[in-house]
């Protein structure tokens, strides 16, 4: 299964053995598929659209999808969350129509497994790597991977420390690393050039700082 929302990921469509989900409004060109694989157009590029299509292919119902998205988007403004849920519903209906009777064959594992987006998977890797303190700019702490990590902070043994901006977050992380901690800094909304310069300084000083 491959979710291909842009030209770069669509180039990997030949690696998918069953399904390729792509943004139907901006298909970069014909997809090269393995025999037995099928392409399914999404009505938009939102991650929620991919979730809606996957839910339809897995044989879930709309109530289950809505409940899962409402839990996930509870920190989002109500208008934004409603728009994302609508995107998932449109993709759910579109995928069910396109796929017909074809569905994913999912065996029960007997336990619940998380479905993570890229930054969240990186954050989980940071916890597994032993990061003990998390520095994030105050404006970004309520959204995205930062909000998800903060929700896991108590269980993951992660101390949460607010910062005024991305540079302050990285500087504080460097200081914590110098004091012997393994620090994580959230730079997802900052200046790439400034972050690269600070990371270069950390590398030259031998300070192990993890960035998100």
Domain ranges, ordered by start, for the chain: 2-99, 118-211
Tokens encoding 42: 């999404």
Contact 85, 46 (CB under 8 A): no
Entry pTM: 0.53
- Digit-coded pLDDT (tens) for 150-194: 777 767 778 888 888 888 888 888 888 888 888 888 877 666 777
Q: What residues pair up with 161 in beta bridges, in sequence order?
A: 135
Work out the number of other CB atoms within 10 angstroms of the CB of residue 89: 19
Q: How far apart, in whole angstroms, are the C-alpha atoms of residue 23 and residue 45?
A: 5
- Digit-coded pLDDT (tens) for 55-89: 998 888 899 999 989 888 887 788 888 999 999 99
pLDDT class for 8, splitting at 50, 70, 90?
confident
Q: How far apart, in whole angstroms, are the C-alpha atoms of residue 14 and residue 61?
A: 30
Q: Which CATH number fits domain 118-211: 3.40.50, 1.10.287, 3.40.720, 1.10.10?
A: 3.40.50
Contact 164, 187 (CB under 8 A): no
């Amino acid at each position: 299964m491959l979710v291909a929302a842009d030209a770069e990921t669509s180039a990997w469509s030949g690696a998918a053995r069953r399904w390729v989900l792509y943004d139907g409004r901006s298909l970069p060109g014909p997809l090269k598929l393995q025999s037995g694989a099928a392409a399914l157009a999404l009505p938009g590029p939102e991650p929620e659209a991919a979730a809606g299509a996957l839910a339809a292919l897995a044989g879930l119902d709309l109530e289950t999808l809505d409940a899962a998205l409402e839990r996930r988007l509870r920190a989002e403004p109500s208008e934004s969350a409603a728009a994302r849920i609508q995107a998932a519903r449109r993709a759910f209906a579109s995928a069910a129509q396109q796929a017909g009777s074809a569905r994913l064959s999912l065996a029960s594992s007997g336990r619940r497994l998380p479905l993570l987006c890229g930054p969240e998977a990186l954050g989980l890797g940071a916890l597994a790597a032993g990061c003990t303190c998390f520095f994030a700019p105050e404006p970004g702490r309520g959204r995205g991977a930062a909000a998800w990590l903060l929700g896991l902070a108590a269980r993951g043994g992660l101390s949460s420390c607010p910062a005024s901006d991305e540079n302050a977050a990285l500087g504080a992380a460097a200081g914590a690393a110098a004091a012997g901690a393994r620090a994580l800094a959230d730079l997802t909304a900052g200046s790439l050039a400034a972050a690269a310069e600070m990371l270069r300084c950390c590398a030259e000083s031998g300070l192990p700082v993890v960035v998100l």
